[in-house]
């Protein structure tokens, strides 16, 4: 019985956090299949860049 309750904990945690789903955005969609995108946050413009190595860089 203890093993079963241990197995259920992650599922219970997922259900508890279901109301807090984080949106998923593909970087390629944000950059329209390019390598850069501008993101506006409260009037501040940030640049999102996908590097040749496939990493993301966000700069102000």
Question: In this structure, what token pair is assigned to residue 14?
Answer: 């997922």
| Percent of the chain residues past pLDDT 90, beyond the cut | 63
CATH number of 25-60: 2.10.70.10
Domain ranges of the chain: 25-60
pLDDT band at 59 (very low <50, low <70, confident <90, very high): very high
Contact 27, 48 (CB under 8 A): yes
Contact 33, 48 (CB under 8 A): no
Encode pLDDT of 12-31 as tens digits. 666 666 667 889 999 999 99
Average pLDDT of span 2-8: 54
Spatial separation of the C-alpha atoms in residues 8 and 15, rounded to whole Å: 11
Question: In this structure, what token pair is assigned to residue 51?
Answer: 């590097």
More confident residue, 54 or 4: 54
Contact 7, 14 (CB under 8 A): no
């Amino acid at each position: 019985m203890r093993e079963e309750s241990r197995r259920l904990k992650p599922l219970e945690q997922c259900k508890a956090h279901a109301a807090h789903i984080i949106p998923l955005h593909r970087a390629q969609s944000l950059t329209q299949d390019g390598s850069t995108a501008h993101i506006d946050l409260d009037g501040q413009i940030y640049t999102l860049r996908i590097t040749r190595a496939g990493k993301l860089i966000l700069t102000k």
